[in-house]
Every structure is written in structure tokens, then in C-alpha cells.
Amino acid sequence: MSAASRMRLRGLVRKEFCQILRDPSSIAIAFLMPVFLLLIFGYGISLDAEHVPIAVVVEQPDADTAGLAARFAGSRYFAPVFMHDMGEAEGELRAMRVNAIVHVQSDFASRLRRSDGAPIQLIVNGTDANTARLMIGYVQGVWQGWLGKRAMERGSRLGAPLAIDQRVWFNSELRSRNYLVPGLIAIIMTLIGALLTALVMAREWERGTMEALMVTPVTMGEVLLGKVLPYFLLGLGGMAVSVAMGLWLFGVPLMGSPWLLFAVSSLFLLAALGMGLLISTATRSQFLAGMVAIITTFLPAFLLSGFIFDIGSMPLLVQAITRILPARYFVASLQTLFLAGNVWSVILPNAAALAVFAAVFLGASRRMMRKRLD
Amino acid sequence: MVKRIYALMIKEFLALMKDKRSRIVVIIPPLVQLLVFGYAATFDLNHIPIAVYNEDAGPAARDLVARFTGSTNFQQVATLTGEAQIGPLVDSRRVLMVLHIGPQFSRELSAGRAGPVQVIVDGRNSNTAAILLGYVSTIAADYSADWIRRSGGAAGARLEVRAWFNPNLESRWFLVPGIVGLLTLLVTTLVTSLSVAREREQGTFDQLLVTPLRPVEILLGKALPGFIIGFVEMTAIVLIATLWFHVPLRGEVATLYVGLFFFLFSSIGVGLMVSSLAVTQQQGLLGAFLFLVPSVMLSGFATPIANMPFWMQRLTLVNPMRYFLVIIRGVFLQGTPFHLLVGQFWPMAVIGLVNLTVAGFLFRRRLY
């Protein structure tokens, strides 16, 4: 790079910084948004259901059913309401005041002694299928605990013939926060990266300052660099804030190396900024660029990145679509770096994909930025 | 007055639709996204790659393995012969689960004791891991029940599970109506939140203010296109949800549209509020994001509101999306009648009214 080019670049970067300082929304995007979003989502997004309201209907209470009811009352997963009438409970379920009904019929005690066993009916509101499944699992746990205790009291063999020893690697307590926070950081950085740059080129076109830039000796490559550098620094600042919050506020462990995290984040930021610049260059209108940026970043990153829905379970065509999202590779890298460590077999392919995206987006923006007024 | 509002509305539509690219951006993405997201958004796992490490040669162990490999939830991609192979396979995410049956399994079982089985799960995505462990315990419970029956034991009590409204517990039925709400919110917020900011930045807003149009009329003229686009788009999306994804629509369509009216009213109110606060389009875009992102994430779309801490649940009371999701899911899956949903309608009306009032006030006061 020649001395003149360096000087021009320095001028452009300085101009961009002045503009950033004048309209504080860029700084807000880079530093306040991660804090705000991580706070809200870190506390607000949880798949761990506790104190689920359920109705326990016992038509004829006796010693056996009292033991079962006590186990429901003692479980932290349930907030049971005890009733004697099934009709009343069904009304509560329909009005969505309870999520499930455990129904013990009046002939329970007599059928318990028979060989085919006595039925306990569980009716769940299946609208939210995921929560319903979790609830069924919890009820199964309560029920099996009760069976086991009952068997023990009678001195017979313990309930289940299978002893399953569950080992959950990397996140032994299944704290959903441990995996949600790295994923959230990836989503938040996707938003920030695109938001920072989506409007900058379109703004120059709309305000007519692009023409002013064209009559100066700066090359288009310098304009591009002059746009990327300041926002790259801002984005890294936002990333640092997010990681610091994840580590110290939410207590997520960082098993991998901080340097590797820095490298992967830089690659991702380049890809995200490149995408914003490409949108901005291609549309030349802030209104359009803003709409395209929102549509292409937020929902795809939220729903298709593997952050909340498992990519392997999607249809193949949709899986193929997820491959064109930089966020997908960043989510996988961050989850591995935070929870598992420097697993090269995961990090390398994902980092390579991010590098390709950065090159493609920045290259395409460079190609579309010509010194012409058409 | 009607004539003036009508004229402004036409102008807004022209500003939005005369440019081909802008027309495409408003119409196409929501429809495409519904199709893609409708397939992507599911909590049901299938073909989870697993590895099996079976050290027991007995038929009891083979039967247990067969129950895993025979399920569509699991797909065996590796057979292990040593403990050391487990680590690299899980680390590199080639398998999400390893089923390890020890050499003593058959012997312990026939001796009347519990047979040891180890299940190792990748916990990097704890939600997937939790769902996976749910499948494992279902298979284990079935296996246990069969074993007890075959060995002549008494079953004791048994659990019969029934799910109302969604008998097969398909999470798609839950999520697709949610996506309908999501996309409707996205489109209306986009259309309205940048509209005033754009006029401000281009200087045409001053011209609008010196016309005979009163602030209320400007407000209405800006809001109506959002309403119309929202209604049309929503109708298309609901048709796709019912005809393509076969989500049952059990309730009254009229109830759904009343809900939609209030939802559009509130989200357009927020959009115009954001727009009237913003001086530049970048600020408008930032405001739209700051409204959209939390509204979606904290609406109960993917993660239930009941799981949030109490203060956060209180915070969601100002989120219009929260109410609309209850309405649309209620109408679609549960056939909830109108009178049970009144409690969801009026909060949205209040949110919309407050925001529109503030927006109308700001129209007059902010002239820079």
C-alpha cells in the first residue's frame, strides 16, 4: 500500500468515525444492544419448565393415592391443584388454567391388586407439544418413584429392570443457559454486524455524498476498507462485551482458548459486515437495505442456525438452506468453544466456512462498487 | 377528511409499491419464509445419529439395541468396539448419543437385578439433549414393561397418556401458527417504522406538515397501508398453514380476524411511534429491531412465558405478540370461542392506542 493510499484510507476511516460519533445509534448498536439483548434473553429464554399447574383428580382417596398425591405436591416441576371431580378439571384444562390432568379413577384401589394393573390417566394440553412432552416425562418420573417406593415398602423387587446411567457431556446439569448464551451471542452478533453496515453505503448514495467521493482520488477498494475497519472495531467491542457478560454474569464456562474465540469471531464479523455492505451496495436505498437486512438476518439466524431447533431433524432441502447462513457456523463454533474446548474437528471446518463467506461477501461488494453513476 | 386520508394512503402505497424491488421485498419473503421455517421449526427429533457399543452378546441386549435402531428418532451410524472410540466421536459431533451396554447386562437381568446401561449424550445443545433423554426413557419404560410381563410379574399401576388438541404431540402444529404471527409482525413493523423517518430524512415530511392534513389524518394515512398489507399477507399465510402444513383450524375464522385487527393496531402503533421518534432511517431501523427482536423472543413463540422469571413475565405484558399468539394458537388448535379471548383483545387495543397517541403528539412536536 502506497503512502498516498494509506493517507486516503486514514481520512476515510476518520470521516466514518466522525459520522459514528455524530449519530450515536451506531455506538448504541455495538455496545448497548448486546447488553440489552443478552440481559433480556439470558433471563427470558428458558426451556426448563417448573411449577407447571396441573390438576390431580382422585375420585376415591385412600392410603395408596395419598402417597401419589404427596409426590406430586413435593415435586418442583408441578404446582398441583387437587380435585375430586373430572368435569371440573376438564373445564380448567380448556380454560388453560392447568396444563394437565392426572386422573385416578374410583376403582383404582381394587384394580391395583389385579394382574393387568390399575390405570392412571394423564391428559395433557398438547398445544405446546414440547412442553407437553417434558410434562409427560416428569409425570413418568413421579409415577415411577411412587411405584418404586411402594414396591420397597412391600419388600418386593424394585420397579424397573433397566438401570440407565445417563451421562451428559459438556453440560452435566443440562443447564439450558449454558448452551443458550453462546447461541444468543451468535445471534446478537449477526444482528449487530448487519445493522452496522446495512445502511452505510446506501446512505452515501441517498445523500449524494457518493458522487462527492467519486470525484476524489480514492479507489473503491479504499472506500470498502474505510467502511469495514471502523465497524469491525465496533463489532469486536460488542463481541467483547457479550463474552464478558456470558462469562461473569451468566457463569458460562469458556473451555476453549480465548485467542481462538477471537479469531473465529473476527472471521464471523467480517462475514456479517460483508453481508451488510453487500445489501447496502446492491440496494442503494436505506429503506430497502433496512428491510432486506431485517428479513435476511434475524429470523433466519434465530430459526435456522441450530440455536433452538436441531438442524439434523430438518428436511434435507431446509438443511441445505441453513448452509448459506454464516450464523449456523458461528453457533456451532461458539457452542463448542464455550462448552467443549478447542475441538479442531469442529472449529476448523466452521472457521473455513466463515472465511469463505467473508471473502465472498466482501468480494461481491467490491465488484458491485464501481465508480459510475448509472 | 376521508378524501385527504385516502390521498395520503394512495401516496404511501405508491411509495411502497412503485419500486419493483421494494414490492418484492414486502410480498415474497414472508411467504418463502413461512415455507422454510414451517419445515425448520420443530422440536421433534428424527434420525439422530447414534453409536452403539454393545459388549453383551445375549438376546436381551440385542432386543434393547433393536428398539433404538428400529425407532425413526434414532439412526445408528457407528458400531464401537472399545471405550476409547467414544470420546472423539462425540467431540466432533458425529454422533449425539452413545448407547453402551456392559458385558454383565444379560446376566444381571436374568438374575432378577437391574441391567446396567450407559447413555452418553452431547450436552452442547441442552434442549436437544433433554428431548433425546425423553426418547431414551420412553424406550426404557417400554422395554421394562415388556420384560416384567414376560417374566410374569405384576404390572402394578400403569400410566395412560392422552394429549388433547394435538394427539400426536406434533410441535409443528404449535410452531406454524406462531410463525404466522411472527411474519405478520415483521411485515407491519417494517412497513411502518421507516415510513416517517424516510420522509424526515428526505425533507418531505415538512411539506406534509404544511398541507391541510392534520396529525391524526397523517397518522391514519400512514397506518392504513400497514393494515391492508397485514390483512392480505396474513390471509395468504393462514391459507398456507392450513392447506400446505395441514394445521387444523378448529375455531371461528372471524375470531381470528378480530384478533388480527387488534394485533395490527398495536404493532402499527409501535411502528409509527418508533418512526416518529427517529430522525434518520438508521435510527428507525434500530428502533424496529429493538422492538421486533425482544417481542419475538419473549412472546412464548419457542420458549414458554411460564418458564421465565416472574419479573420477566410481567415485562411481557406490554408485548402485543404475546396476546396474539394465545389467540391464534387457541383458534387454530383448541377452537377457543370468542368470549374466552376477550382478555387477550383489550391489552392490544390499549398498547395500540397509547403508541398512536404518542406518535401523533410527536408528529407535531419534532420538526428537526
What sign has the CA pseudo-torsion A277, A281, A285, A287? negative
List of chain B residues whose C-beta atoms are within 8 Å of the C-beta of residue A128: 174, 304
Mutant choice from A295, A321, A331, A339 vs B, greatest count of B C-beta within 10 A:
A295
Mean pLDDT within B114-129: 81
pLDDT per residue as tens digits for the range A242-294:
999 999 998 888 988 999 999 999 999 999 999 999 998 888 888 888 888 88
Record: contact A126-B165, CB cut-off 8 A: yes
Mean pLDDT of chain A: 84
With both helix axes pointing from N to C terminus, report the angle between A258-283 and A344-368 in degrees, rounded to the nearest 10: 30
Query: In angstroms, rounded to a whole number, what is the distance separating the alpha carbons of residues A301 and B297?
Result: 12
Q: Give the three-class secondary structure for B77.
A: strand
Mean pLDDT of chain B: 84
List domains and CATH numbers for chain B. Answer: 19-41+170-365 (no CATH), 48-150 (3.40.1710.10)
Helix (H) / strand (E) element for B342: namely helix B342-365
How far B30 CA lies from chain A's nearest CA (Å)? 9
- pLDDT band of residue A372 (cuts 50, 70, 90) is low
CB within 8 Å of B345: residues ≥ 6 apart: B258, B259, B262, B323, B327
- pLDDT band of residue A149 (cuts 50, 70, 90) is confident
Q: Report phi then psi at B279, rounded to 5.
A: -95, -35
Angle at A305 between CA B185 and CA B98, to 5 degrees: 135
Record: contact A304-B42, CB cut-off 8 A: no
Mean pLDDT within A213-234: 86
Mean pLDDT within B100-117: 83
Q: Which residue of A has its CA nearest to B305?
A: A44
Q: What is the pLDDT at residue A259?
A: 94
How far B208 CA lies from chain A's nearest CA (Å)? 19
Q: What is the pLDDT at residue B153?
A: 61
pLDDT per residue as tens digits for the range A327-360:
999 998 998 899 888 888 889 999 999 999 999 9
Which range has the top average pLDDT, A104-113, A240-249, B170-179, B204-213?
A: A240-249
- pLDDT band of residue B263 (cuts 50, 70, 90) is very high
Mean pLDDT within A87-112: 83
The alpha helices in A199-285, defined as continuous H runs, are 200-206, 209-214, 220-244, 258-283
pLDDT at A170 over 80: no
Record: contact B194-A290, CB cut-off 8 A: yes
Record: contact B298-A40, CB cut-off 8 A: yes
What is the ipTM, given to two decimal places? 0.77
Q: What is the DSSP letter of A312?
A: G
Q: Which residue of B has its CA nearest to A25?
A: B283
Q: What is the pLDDT at residue A161?
A: 65
Record: contact A47-B127, CB cut-off 8 A: yes
List domains and CATH numbers for chain A. Answer: 3-45+172-368 (no CATH), 52-153 (3.40.1710.10)
Q: What is the pLDDT at residue B156?
A: 61
Mean pLDDT within A18-41: 83
C-alpha cell recorded at residue A102: 392426572
Provide the Cα torsion A276, A280, A283, A288; round to 10°. 70
C-alpha cell recorded at residue A47: 426451556
Query: In angstroms, rounded to a whole number, what is the distance separating the alpha carbons of residues B165 and A243?
Result: 42
> Cβ of A120: how many Cβ atoms within 10 Å?
20
How far A1 CA lies from chain B's nearest CA (Å)? 33
Mean pLDDT within B322-348: 88
Mean pLDDT within B327-342: 86
pLDDT at A165 over 80: no
- The burial class, CB within 10 Å (0-12 / 13-18 / 19+), for B108 is middle
Q: What is the pLDDT at residue A51?
A: 83
Q: Give the three-class secondary structure for A238.
A: helix
pLDDT at A150 over 80: no
Could you tell me which residue, B158 or B54, shows the higher pLDDT?
B54
Picking from B197, B286, B296, B273, the residue whose alpha carbon sits closest to that of residue A28 is B286
List of chain B residues whose C-beta atoms are within 8 Å of the C-beta of residue A303: 37, 40-41
pLDDT at B368 over 80: no
Q: Give the three-class secondary structure for A70.
A: helix
Q: What is the pLDDT at residue A39?
A: 87
Q: Give the three-class secondary structure for B163.
A: strand
Q: What is the DSSP letter of B114?
A: P
Query: In angstroms, rounded to a whole number, what is the distance separating the alpha carbons of residues B267 and B344?
Result: 14
pLDDT at A158 over 60: no
Q: Which residue of B has its CA nearest to A307?
A: B125
- The burial class, CB within 10 Å (0-12 / 13-18 / 19+), for B262 is buried
Q: What is the pLDDT at residue A19?
A: 83
Q: Cα separations (Å) of B273 from A283, B227, B347, B360?
A: 26, 16, 17, 8
> Cβ of B61: how many Cβ atoms within 10 Å?
21
With both helix axes pointing from N to C terminus, report the angle between B171-193 and B253-277 in degrees, rounded to the nearest 10: 40
Bridge pairing between strands A52-58 and A78-83: parallel
Q: What is the pLDDT at residue A114?
A: 67
Q: Which one of A133, A170, A317 has the shortest CB-CB distance to B134?
A: A133
C-alpha cell recorded at residue A251: 457463569
Q: Which one of B48, B160, B334 has the shortest CB-CB distance to A127?
A: B334
